[in-house]
Amino acid sequence: MTTRSEPFRVAVLGATGAVGQRFVTLLTGHPWFELTALAASERSAGRTYRDAVSWIQTRPIDETVAAMSVHTIDELMDHDFDVVFSALDASVARDIEPEFARRSLVVTNASAHRMDEGVPLLVPEVNPDHLALLPAAEDGADLPRGIVANPNCSTIGLVLALKPLASAFGFDRIFVSTLQAVSGAGLPGVSSYQILDNVIPWIPGEEEKLEIETGKILGRVRAGTIEPAEVAVSAQCNRVPVVDGHTLCVSVDLKGDPRLEDVREAWRSFRAAPQELGLPSAPAQPTVYLGDDAPPQARVHRDLGRGMTTSIGRLRECPILGYRFVALSHNTLRGAAGGALLAAELAVSRCARRGGE
Ligand code: A2P
């Protein structure tokens, strides 16, 4: 796919955390990216990755990666990486990511720079054209510098379900109620005493992210900036005792009174740039419609398309907004490391081709 023969050299910042571990797992054996450096806090630096990490993935750590040293962020600052994946907390990411972005393409899961004017908030199937916000690659470089941000994990499932509807019909108003997995809270996250036998109908900052990010992602590039889509989003977010997989109950006012069958077909036939380019992390189908009587369920459907497919079901009429449905998206794969990896694949694939033109 890319015109380069050697792999892209990549680093992971925040490699010991929940999302960092997902990055490490997905990068192991990746056909384009070679994991060359790991960084975390001073607490972990100087140790091997095996000793520094509390590994929570079902797949064992790759032996080569386990033996790698964990560095401080400062130790990696002057190195030249092609791509830097960031799984840092937003408070740490805010100052650090722009520093790395001067020398590398930074693809981040942190929220610190999502709404910055020059930062694409990228879901590769939804707004691949937003990569145009990145400054052009400098002479001699075959990759751009800058930050590409992964949206909030709930927003990603929402916009994947909405994009085929935006293209086919359009809408102005959305109501979404979420049921979000505990893995979205990172490590250590919510305590077992808080979440077992319980639903917590408040996730600080989450509703605002869904309401603001959706407009940016569905917006248009105009004169080097994003003109947000004019869509009103009302979100209510709940933490539920599920390990992985965010469920979204959505109502939307589709324009033109489409038949329910046309709405189902919009999801079934949806394909986009990652599928056309055959990117390594792209699912064959970004959205699947499971059926009117087949609701998406976290434990059953979250791993569809290797955790990159959004499952949708229970389309029916809504007495208030016209249409309603249920969607499910894997929050730490599509909603975090997997989504960021796909974004990086799209960016390097576009640029390598641009460099070859
Ligand atoms: P560490 O494990 O050494 O604390 P999570 O969101 O799951 O808590 O993960 C946060 C990640 O960010 C971890 O890898 C953590 O490393 C890292 N981290 C936290 N604070 C800093 C910091 N000040 N500098 C560098 N890395 C940090």
Span from the CA of 108 to the centroid of ligand 1 (angstroms): 14
Question: How does pLDDT run across 320-348, given as a tens digit for each residue?
Answer: 999 999 999 999 999 999 999 999 999 99
| Residue 3, pLDDT score | 61
Identify the pLDDT of residue 357.
Answer: 35
| Whole-number pLDDT of residue 32 | 97
Provide the CATH number for the domain around residue 104.
3.40.50.720
Cis amide linkage into residue 128, ω under 30° from 0: no
Exposure pattern of 55-86 as b/e (b: 16+ CB <10 Å)? eeeeeebbeebeebebbebeebeeeebbbbbb
CA angle 117-355-278, nearest 5°? 85
Q: Ligand 1 atom closest to Cα of 43? A: 3
Q: Which range of residues forms the domain containing residue 270?
A: 153-330
CB of 93 shorter than 6 A to ligand 1: no
- Give the separation between CA 263 and CA 140, rounded to whole angstroms: 46
In a domain, 3, yes or no: no
CATH number at residue 304: 3.30.360.10
How many angstroms separate the CA atoms of 245 and 265, rounded?
24
Q: Which residue is listed with tokens 């919009």?
A: 266
- Is 351 one of the annotated active-site residues of the chain? no
Are 281 and 341 in contact, with CB atoms under 8 Å apart? Answer: yes
Distance 297 CA to ligand 1 centre (A): 31
pLDDT in tens, 152-194: 999 999 999 999 999 999 999 999 999 999 999 987 899 999 9
Check 113, 153, 237, 330 and give the catalytic one.
153
By C-alpha distance, which of 8, 7, 11 is closest to 76? 11
Residue 2 resides in a domain: no
pLDDT average, residue stretch 5-23: 94
Q: How far apart are CA 338 and CA 329, in angstroms?
A: 12
In a domain? residue 1? no
**Type of residue numbered 45:** A
Q: Are residues 124 and 222 in the same domain?
A: no
- What's the rounded mean pLDDT across residues 123-137? 91
Q: For residue 319, how far is its CA from the centre of ligand 1 (angstroms)? A: 46
Q: Is residue 63 part of a domain?
A: yes
Domain count, the chain: 2
Ligand 1 and 44: CB distance under 6 A: yes
Is 30 a catalytic site residue?
A: no
* pTM for this entry: 0.96
Helix and strand element counts for the chain (H, E):
13, 14
184 lines ligand 1 (CB under 6 A): no
Q: Residues 282, 1: contact at Cβ < 8 Å?
A: no
271 and 314 part of one domain: yes
| Nearest residue by C-alpha to atom 21 in ligand 1 | 41
Whether 227 shows a pLDDT value over 70: the answer reads yes
pLDDT of residue 138: 59
For the chain, give the percent of residues with pLDDT over 90: 90
CA 187 to ligand 1 centroid distance, Å: 10
Ligand 1 and 20: CB distance under 6 A: yes
Q: Is the CB of 94 under 6 A from ligand 1?
A: no
Residue 88 lies in a domain: yes
In angstroms, the CA 16 to CA 186 distance is 11
Which structure tokens are listed for 288? Answer: 């699947």
Mean pLDDT over all residues of the chain? 94
pLDDT at residue 5 is higher than 80: no
Pair 206, 348 in one domain = no
Q: State the Cα–Cα distance between residues 94 and 89, nearest whole angstrom.
A: 9
